[in-house]
């Protein structure tokens, strides 16, 4: 029995949102393990720069390409480029995702004493922002799966990892679109895992707890002083380890779920959350 990640070497992995904070850390783990890594991101410059740095650091083939996970034709174009350079994908990590201020309520709960200002809560949500957040997280996982999983099914082997969130299990206040979209990721992960069950292609998800990154910084820390907001304090009080996650905390589970060490693990959503989801709050 082999107990390392040697089987990952020279496999081809598509990583969407790979120029983001968590994505970059995932790309570091992949390239360190010798996985040929294709960093797809809307931000072409950032994708190219991460890829260049990692290729220099690890010697592993890595490229950064611009792609929009909501644009089917952009993904098909990338598939052609990757196939020409490295061959068909063995792995897909659906990392692109996020929230938006317009899909975030100002108030956590509706206060019956202040219903004169309905814009603070549910009724102040912007429908278009809600749609964008839902699309980015759900359709942005569906479309790359449609485009890149077919080669895995053809080879009879592959692994897809979706990125969920704590908000998928129980919705977080203020972020209804993000919560609903991440819940749909858990559901879709299970559906696709069952659908591909006999093909050799596995589908799992990672649910990060609270990591201080660009998309949640405005909710968890004060812009002027950098101090924790009441919400940031509440999160830490509900995280048994008492800390926010570090991007590198996702690396171990990522490599494990891609590798043959997890061959019989299919359709699971693994929390990486410092115990947040285990804690009842008392």
- Between residues 16 and 239, which has the closer beta carbon with respect to ligand NAD? 16
CB 235 to ligand NAD: min, Å: 10
CB 105 to ligand NAD: min, Å: 18
Contact 20, 45 (CB under 8 A): no
CA distance linking residue 140 with residue 138, whole number of Å: 5
Question: What are the residues facing 39 on neighbouring strands?
Answer: 15, 64
Q: What is the contact surface with ligand NAD in residues (CB under 6 A)?
A: 16-17, 19-23, 41-43, 67-70, 95-98, 136, 140, 163, 165, 208, 210-211, 213-216
CB 42 to ligand NAD: min, Å: 4
The total number of residues shown for the chain amounts to: 282
H or E stretch including 82? helix 72-85
Active-site residues, by number, are 178
- Between residues 33 and 166, which has the closer beta carbon with respect to ligand NAD? 166
User: HEC string of 85-138?
Assistant: HCCCCCEEEECCCCCCHHHCCCCCCCCHHHCCCHHHCHHHCCHHHHHHHHHHHH
- Between residues 168 and 201, which has the closer beta carbon with respect to ligand NAD? 168
Contact 100, 133 (CB under 8 A): yes
- Between residues 151 and 162, which has the closer beta carbon with respect to ligand NAD? 162
For the chain, helix, strand, coil in percent to 5 are 50, 15, 35
User: Which 8-state DSSP code applies to residue 281?
Assistant: -
CB 220 to ligand NAD: min, Å: 9
Taking CB atoms, the residue at the shortest distance from ligand NAD is 20
């Amino acid at each position: 029995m082999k107990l390392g990640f040697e089987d990952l070497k020279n496999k081809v992995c598509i990583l969407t949102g790979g120029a983001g904070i968590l994505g970059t850390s995932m790309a570091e783990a992949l390239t360190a393990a010798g996985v040929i890594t294709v960093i797809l991101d809307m931000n072409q410059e950032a994708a190219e720069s991460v890829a260049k740095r990692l290729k220099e650091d690890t010697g592993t083939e890595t490229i950064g390409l611009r792609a929009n996970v909501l644009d089917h034709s952009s993904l098909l174009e990338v598939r052609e480029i990757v196939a020409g350079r490295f061959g068909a994908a063995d792995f897909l990590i659906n990392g692109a995702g996020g929230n938006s201020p317009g899909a975030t309520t100002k108030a956590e709960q509706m206060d019956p004493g202040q219903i004169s200002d309905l814009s603070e809560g549910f009724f102040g949500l912007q429908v278009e922002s809600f749609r964008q957040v839902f699309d980015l997280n759900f359709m942005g996982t569906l479309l790359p799966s449609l485009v890149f999983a077919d080669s895995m099914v053809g080879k009879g082997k592959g692994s897809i990892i979706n990125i969920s969130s704590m908000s998928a299990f129980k919705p977080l206040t203020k972020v209804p679109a993000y919560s609903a979209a991440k819940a749909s990721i858990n559901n879709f992960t299970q559906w696709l895992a069952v659908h591909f069950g006999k093909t050799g292609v596995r589908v799992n998800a990672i649910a990060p707890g609270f990591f201080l990154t660009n998309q949640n910084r405005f909710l968890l820390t004060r812009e002027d002083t950098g101090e924790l907001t009441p919400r940031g304090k509440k999160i830490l009080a509900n995280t048994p380890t008492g800390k926010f996650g570090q991007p590198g905390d996702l690396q171990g589970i990522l490599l494990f779920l891609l590798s043959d060490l997890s061959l019989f693990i299919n359709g699971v959503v693994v929390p990486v959350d410092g115990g947040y989801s285990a804690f009842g709050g008392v």
